[in-house]
Amino acid sequence: MRIVVSGAAGFIGSHMCDRLLREGHSVVALDNFLTGAERNIRHLTGTPNFEFRRHDVTLPVDVDGGLDAVFHMASPASPKDYLEHPIETLDVGSLGTRQMLELARKHDATFLLTSTSESYGDPHVHPQVETYWGNVNPVGPRSCYDESKRFAEAMTMAYHRTHGIRTNIARIFNTYGPRMKLNDGRVVPAFLDQALQGKPITVFGDGTQTRSFCYVSDLVDGLYKLSRSDERYPVNLGNQREMTIREFAETIQLLMGTNCQIEYHPLPEDDPKQRRPDITKARKLLGWNPVVSLDDGLKATIEYFRNLALCAA
C-alpha cells in the first residue's frame, strides 16, 4: 500500500513510518517540524519506499499516483507544546483534518485519525469507555487540544457519513518511548531527564492523579490493526496499568537507582485527576493487547535518553 503519514517526524508518527516500511508499504511522510524533529526520521533517508515532504498539513496537498491510506497523526500533543502553540493546535485538528480527509476522498483512500484520551477531559466515568462523551472545559488552557481533537473526530465522522470514506478513529492514551522530546514537559521525559541529571523530580499537585502508560511499539501495533478494520467509531488504545504520578516518580527512582528528592509543584489548571482506558473494544475487535511491561519500556526509553545526552556532550 502507499500511505501518507502526517506528523511523520513526531514521536508516534516516526515509529508508525518504521512499522509501515517494515510491513512493506510505501510512505509519503509530511511534517512541518513545528514540534516534530528531523532526527526522528533521519535514519529513513535514502530508504527506497520513503518520501519526505516538509509541509504544513493545514494547507492543501496532493500526491502523484495512487494512494491507499492517509494516517493523520500531525498535532502538538504535549500540554507544554499545545499551550505554546494553541492556534496551530486548533488549526491542525480542524483545517489539517479537513485537508487530510480531502486527500483521502480524492484518492478513495482509507483514513485514520489519531485522536486522544483528552476527548474525555477530566472524566467522571472511570475507566474511560468509548461511549462516554467526556467532561471538557471548552475555554480552559487545554481546550485548544481537547476541542481540536473533538472537532477532528466530528469532521471524520461527517466525511464518513457524507462521502462514504472508510475512516477509523483511535483515542490514544498516554504513550511513551524513544523519540519523545526531552523538553516537551510530559511526565515521562521530564522525570527521566531530572533523574539522569540528579535533579529533584517535579511532581505536580500532591501526585495522587493517575495515568496509564503505554509503550510506543504496543500503541503503533494497535493503530496499525485499527487501520485495517471496518470500525468507524472511536477505539481506545492504551495500557490499562494505572498508577499515581507519585508512584510513577518512585518507579523512576527505583529503576534508575537514584534517591533524588521529590519536589511538589502546583497542579496545572484542568489537569485530569484520573485516566485509564477501557480497552475491551480494542481487544475484541482487533485482538490487540499491550505486551511491553512498564519496566522494559522504561529501560528502553532510559537508554535512548542516555545516548541522546552522550551525543549532546
Contact footprint for ligand UDP (CB under 6 A): 78-79, 174, 185-187, 190, 202-204, 209, 211, 245, 268, 271
Residues facing 203 on adjacent strands = 264
Closer to ligand UDP at the Cβ: 137 or 202?
A: 202
**Per-residue DSSP letters for 184-199?**
S--HHHHHHHHHHTTP
Q: DSSP class of residue 85?
A: S
Q: Provide the grid cell at 294.
A: 512498564
- ∠ at Cα 154 (149, 159), nearest 5°? 120
Closer to ligand UDP at the Cβ: 191 or 288?
A: 191
Residue 63: name the closest of 99, 23, 16, 9 by CA. Answer: 99
We find the least distance from the C-beta atom of residue 117 to ligand UDP, in angstroms, to be 8
Q: Looking at 64-189, which runs of residues are DSSP E strands? A: 69-72, 110-116, 167-172, 175-176
Q: Which long-range contacts (CB under 8 A, 24 or more apart) does 135-139 make?
A: 137/270
We find the least distance from the C-beta atom of residue 4 to ligand UDP, in angstroms, to be 26
We find the least distance from the C-beta atom of residue 22 to ligand UDP, in angstroms, to be 28
Closer to ligand UDP at the Cβ: 113 or 203?
A: 203
CA of residue 73 relative to chain centroid, distance: 8
Q: Provide the grid cell at 273.
A: 485527576
Catalytic residue selected from 82, 120, 145, 224: 145
We find the least distance from the C-beta atom of residue 209 to ligand UDP, in angstroms, to be 4
Is 145 an annotated catalytic residue?
A: yes
Count the Cβ atoms, other than its own, within 10 Å of residue 269.
Answer: 9
We find the least distance from the C-beta atom of residue 120 to ligand UDP, in angstroms, to be 11
The letter for the amino acid at 7 is G
At a CB cut-off of 8 Å and minimum separation 6, what does 102 contact? 60
Closer to ligand UDP at the Cβ: 29 or 73?
A: 73
Cβ–Cβ < 8 Å for 165, 101: yes
Closer to ligand UDP at the Cβ: 19 or 80?
A: 80
Q: Give me the active site residues, please.
A: 145
